[in-house]
Amino acid sequence: MRLIVLLLLSYSLLACSSEPIKRQPEIAIQSVTDIFSLQLQSDELDIQDREALEGFLLERGDPATLRVRIETYSARAENVLAAVKALMHLRFIYPSQLDIEVKKSVDSSVDLILVVESYRPLVPRCDAGKEPKTVLNDFKRSANFGCANANALAQMVSNPRDLVVGQTLSATEGRKAISTLESYYEQPNVPLSQSSPISGALSGGAGN
């Protein structure tokens, strides 16, 4: 009987420990793939093709978070490839976000296919209520614990793709970061002028 009482007391002391429960916020990222096919009527993009392509890209959201794969299936598609890339550049989709693949035609009704991959954070829904007051719930972690932090962080993510695939640091960006540090540490130490108020105060003078 004493052993059971001691076990219950030790379990109660562990449950009431003052050490905080550490839990990192978890942000779920959803990957979305959209496909746009285009049948060309000539070797150039006409007005309808441009409007359809622009509307498709606008519906995909923030262009900085997109990855686009262009698949060409005909000679016409290869002829309009430069125009398609120029149109994407106007929509702030740059060459670093593009992949181009030349494939053999399987269906004669399709000349060009765009496969657009985008990412979006899933904002968790937090319950404002509390767990029912029971004996077992006193020693159980609430499912709502940390939900507010995860909710706020999910809404502040600038580029959700960075949480899945990190960006590589290019040579230009690395050189810029290093040059900033070098300019800070290698700047010459300019002595204070004798007429400076700070110099006078440091030397014990009045400074004025």
**What secondary structure, in 3-state letters, does the chain show?**
CHHHHHHHHHHHHHHCCCCCCCCCCCCEEEEEEEEEEECCCCCCCCHHHHHHHHHHHHCCCCHHHCEEEEEECCHHHHHCHHHHHHHHHHCCCCHHHEEEEECCCCCCCCCEEEEEEEEEEECCCCCCCCCCCCCHHHHCCCCCCCHHHHHHHHHHCCCHHHHCCCCCCCHHHHHHHHHHHHHHHCCCCCCCCCCCHHHHHHCCCCCC
Q: What is the pLDDT of residue 147?
A: 81
Pairwise pLDDT comparison (46 vs 4), residue with the higher score: 46
Q: What is the pLDDT of residue 207?
A: 47
Of 58-67, 68-77, 161-170, 177-186, where does mean pLDDT reach its minimum? Answer: 161-170
Q: What is the pLDDT of residue 36?
A: 93
- Quick one: what percent of the chain has pLDDT higher than 90? 15
Q: What is the pLDDT of residue 33?
A: 92
Q: What is the pLDDT of residue 204?
A: 52
Domains and CATH numbers, the chain: 23-182 (3.30.1330)
